[in-house]
Amino acid sequence: MDKVLARGSAAARSRPRAAVVSILAAGAVVTATVAMATSASAGTTLGAAAAEQGRYFGTAVAVNKLSDSTYVGILNREFNMVTAENEMKWDATEPSQNQFTFSAGDRLVAHAQANGMRVRGHALAWHQQQPGWAQSLSGSALRQAMVNHITQVATHYRGKIYAWDVVNEAFDDGNSGARRNTSLERTGSDWIEVAFRTARAADPGAKLCYNDYNTDNWTWAKTQGVYNMVRDFKARGVPIDCVGFQSHFNSGSPYPSNYRTTLQNFAALGVDVQITELDIEGSGSSQATAYGNVVRDCLAVARCNGITVWGIRDTDSWRASGTPLLFDGSGNKKPAYTAALNALNEGGTPPPTTEPPTSEPPTSAPPTSAPPTSPPPGGACTATLTSNQWQGGFVTNVRVTAGASGLNGWTVSLTVPSGAAITNSWSTQPSGTSGAVTFRNVDYNRQVGAGGTTEFGFQGTGTAPTGTPTCAAA
Ligand code: 9MR
């Protein structure tokens, strides 16, 4: 069988190394190389503009606000990634030991899936927002409770989470650069790597992130402390895929001019970087400038996957009095919104498009003719698949290329192999989960200019689909 080199999209690129190795061992199907979508058109929403750059734009969501029509209107129009502001935390999901309640988190996942959004999971292990019973534990009882919690929650959401904040805020503020002294830390200093290994075993398809605040300024001791931990984890093979920079900025912790340097230096360790809880206190043009700077810094770093703001309207914010978000209390766009959108549309460095070779090249004969460089004349669109397969599951990215007339709505049809099932999808609405499935555009990727491209994806159990799907104008 052919050897595989999974490469291409940001999703394929960032699959855990172990997953790539298992495909190689299994000798699965060859995947195609895909450059990221960059079309000339400007996105008119945050999500669409970020997608043009191969990134996402997300927000924290408070699930009880999903009945607020203004809130949901902005959410569905602007964002293509969501984080549960509180609903997936330890106190919310395991209020009594080993009794799990997932209903609120499940509501958010369902809303995301129905609207073509992805989900960041937040947060598996953290010293705050622990249920009372966990606060009273220590030592091996707490360690075991943490491992069980991570296993149960990550297993429940397996296949539905783009990235998990596995460990949150484990470093001290101040000048020590040391780890925070918490009951989790006192279970043994290996607790963070145990948390990552546990999460990997429970959901091998999710990117696993370390997430913290006040790690934005490269010169700060806390930043250096986290950097040294990530470098050590990469050197020792601890399964970490990404670092989340919360980026809660205010006068005490302002946007630092070396922010881009921080993102670049972490990415150079071989992890993705994500801006996970962005809010910037202030108003008017100074706030707008800072938002624009953050967006430009992310776009300048190939491995910066995307940006999540910590709420929608100022009144939704945990720091409401600081008016730190992109929409005012009535849901109107602020100057900060326009600055962020414009910065997205300026473009930046595309995400990585190739994976460095990890094994011998494919043994199969190369194609006998060059692949088409443009869609066939008269065809409305073409679609290509890039998949990454691991034992028991897969992620597939689909690239849609418009023909000479452009697209105002599209569908892609393919057959999911027997025994396989789709568990999650993004930037699309699938007609089903198995057998013959048709994927329809969502609002923000309906229009594709002539020769332009857009991407969507899905994750599933079993074997990834292969071949060339059918693409049609809707
Ligand atoms: O926004 C969250 C707020 O509703 C909660 O009361 C608070 C409790 O700790 O947590 C807030 O979210 C935090 C996030 O989970 C981790 N980073 C800091 C965020 C703001 O405090």
Q: Which structure tokens are listed for 300?
A: 């300048």
Q: What ranges make up the beta strands (E) of 403-469?
A: 407-408, 410-416, 421-426, 429-430, 435-440, 447-448, 453-461
Distance 128 CA to ligand 1 centre (A): 9
Distance 192 CA to ligand 1 centre (A): 20
- Whose tokens are 């970490």? That residue is 240
Ligand 1 pocket residue status of 277, Cβ below 6 Å? yes
Mean predicted confidence (pLDDT) in 182-200: 97
Residue 251: which residues within 8 A CB-CB, separation 6 or more?
Answer: 281
Mean predicted confidence (pLDDT) in 376-401: 80
Mean predicted confidence (pLDDT) in 121-132: 98
Atom in ligand 1 nearest the alpha carbon of residue 60: 1
As a whole number of angstroms, the distance between CA 440 and CA 381 comes to: 13
Distance 119 CA to ligand 1 centre (A): 17
Residue 188: which residues within 8 A CB-CB, separation 6 or more?
Answer: 143
Q: Is the pLDDT of residue 404 over 50?
A: yes
Mean predicted confidence (pLDDT) in 437-446: 88
CA distances from 445 to 71, 79, 402 (A): 21, 12, 12
201-205, 442-446, 466-470: range with lowest mean pLDDT = 442-446
Instruction: Give 102-115 pLDDT, tens digit per residue.
Output: 999 999 999 999 99
| Res 161: pLDDT | 98
- Tell me the pLDDT of the chain averaged across its residues: 88
Residue of minimum CA distance from atom 4 in ligand 1: 318
3-class SS of residue 276:
strand
| Res 9: pLDDT | 37
pLDDT-derived band at 386 (thresholds 50, 70, 90) equals confident
| Res 410: pLDDT | 96
Above pLDDT 90, what percent of the chain?
76
3-class SS of residue 110:
helix
- Global pTM reads 0.75
- The residue among 418 and 357 whose pLDDT is bigger is 418
Mean predicted confidence (pLDDT) in 417-433: 89
User: Burial level of 464, CB count in 10 A (0-12/13-18/19+)?
Assistant: buried
Q: Is the pLDDT of residue 174 over 80?
A: yes
Q: Is the pLDDT of residue 296 over 60?
A: yes
Ligand 1 pocket residue status of 128, Cβ below 6 Å? yes
Our CA angle for 398, 45, 444, nearest 5°, is 35
Q: Is the pLDDT of residue 28 over 50?
A: no
- Whose tokens are 């009095």? That residue is 321
| Res 65: pLDDT | 98
pLDDT-derived band at 14 (thresholds 50, 70, 90) equals very low
pLDDT-derived band at 374 (thresholds 50, 70, 90) equals very low
Mean predicted confidence (pLDDT) in 298-314: 98
Is the Cβ–Cβ distance between 395 and 388 less than 8 Å? yes
3-class SS of residue 422:
strand
Residue 126: which residues within 8 A CB-CB, separation 6 or more?
Answer: 89, 90, 167, 168, 169
Ligand 1 pocket residue status of 129, Cβ below 6 Å? yes
Q: Is the pLDDT of residue 365 over 90?
A: no
Mean predicted confidence (pLDDT) in 397-418: 94
| Res 390: pLDDT | 64
Q: Is the pLDDT of residue 459 over 90?
A: no
- The residue among 119 and 423 whose pLDDT is bigger is 119
Residue of minimum CA distance from atom 12 in ligand 1: 85
In this structure, what DSSP letter does residue 259 have? H
As a whole number of angstroms, the distance between CA 472 and CA 371 comes to: 20
Cβ count near 50 (within 10 Å):
29
Distance 310 CA to ligand 1 centre (A): 9
Atom in ligand 1 nearest the alpha carbon of residue 213: 17
* Beta-ladder partners of 383: 400
Phi and psi (nearest 5°) for 409?
110, 140
State whether the Cα torsion 126-176-242-113 is positive or negative: positive
Question: Quick one: CA torsion of 314, 315, 321, 324, rounded to 10 degrees?
Answer: -20
Mean predicted confidence (pLDDT) in 242-252: 97
Cβ count near 333 (within 10 Å):
14
3-class SS of residue 381:
strand
> With DSSP H G I counted as helix, E B as strand and the rest as coil, what are the percentages for the chain, rounded to 5?
30, 25, 45
Ligand 1 pocket residue status of 64, Cβ below 6 Å? no
Residues in the chain, total? 474
Mean predicted confidence (pLDDT) in 173-201: 97
Distance 71 CA to ligand 1 centre (A): 19
| Res 378: pLDDT | 64
As a whole number of angstroms, the distance between CA 116 and CA 469 comes to: 19
User: Which residue of 280, 310, 315, 321 sits with most ligand 1 atoms within 8 Å of its CB, as the best mutation to test the pocket?
Assistant: 310
Ligand 1 pocket residue status of 212, Cβ below 6 Å? no
- Whose tokens are 């073509």? That residue is 116
Q: Is the pLDDT of residue 5 over 60?
A: no
- The residue among 67 and 376 whose pLDDT is bigger is 67
- The residue among 426 and 1 whose pLDDT is bigger is 426
pLDDT-derived band at 456 (thresholds 50, 70, 90) equals confident
Q: Is the pLDDT of residue 12 over 50?
A: no
Residue of minimum CA distance from atom 3 in ligand 1: 318
Q: Which structure tokens are listed for 108?
A: 């958010």
Q: Tell me the range of 35-44, 356-365, 376-385 where mean pLDDT is highest.
A: 376-385
Sheet of 453-461: strand order equals 381-390, 393-402, 453-461, 421-426
Mean predicted confidence (pLDDT) in 249-276: 98
| Res 387: pLDDT | 79
Peptide bond into 154 cis (omega under 30): no
Catalytic residues: 169, 277
Residue of minimum CA distance from atom 6 in ligand 1: 318
Atom in ligand 1 nearest the alpha carbon of residue 168: 16
Cβ count near 252 (within 10 Å):
8
Distance 104 CA to ligand 1 centre (A): 16
Ligand 1 pocket residue status of 86, Cβ below 6 Å? yes
As a whole number of angstroms, the distance between CA 404 and CA 452 comes to: 9
pLDDT-derived band at 424 (thresholds 50, 70, 90) equals confident
Residue of minimum CA distance from atom 1 in ligand 1: 318
Ligand 1 pocket residue status of 285, Cβ below 6 Å? no
Q: Which structure tokens are listed for 204?
A: 């091998």
Q: What ranges make up the beta strands (E) of 127-180?
A: 163-168
